[in-house]
Amino acid sequence: MFNLIQVGSWQVLGPSIVKHTMGAAGWGAANSAKAVGLLLLSLLMLRLTVRRPLVVAMAAAALSGLPLVLLGLHAGVVPLAAATFTAGAGSAVCGILWDSTLQTGIPRELISRVTSYDDFGSWVAIPVGQLGVIPLAAAFGASRVAVAGGITLTGLTLLPLLVPSVRGRRLAPAS
Residue 175, pLDDT > 60, answer no
What pLDDT sits at residue 21? Answer: 86
**Domain ranges, ordered by start, for the chain:** 2-168
Domain 2-168 class, CATH top level: mainly alpha
Residues 143 and 74: beta-carbon distance below 8 Å: yes
Over range 16-42, report the average pLDDT: 94
Q: Output the pLDDT for position 59.
A: 96
Residue type, 138: A
Low-confidence winner among 13-17, 125-129, 138-142, 171-175 (lowest mean pLDDT): 171-175
Task: Burial-class residue 97 by CB neighbours within 10 Å (0-12, 13-18, 19+).
Answer: buried
SS3 for 73?
A: coil
Distance CA 119, CA 151 (A): 24
pTM given for the model: 0.90
* Alpha carbon distances (Å) from 63 to 20, 88, 94, 130: 25, 9, 10, 20
Q: Given a cut of 80, is residue 172 above it in pLDDT?
A: no
Question: Whole-angstrom Cα distance, residue 70 to residue 66?
Answer: 6
Tens digits of residue pLDDT in 52-74: 999 999 999 999 999 999 999 99
Q: Report the mean per-residue pLDDT for the chain.
A: 93
pLDDT tens-digit profile of 111-138? 999 999 989 988 999 999 999 999 999 9
Helix (H, G, I), strand (E, B) or coil at 21: coil
Q: What is the pLDDT of residue 164?
A: 93
Mean pLDDT for 82-96 is 96
Residue 46: CB atoms within 10 A of its CB come to 7
Residue 48, pLDDT > 60, answer yes
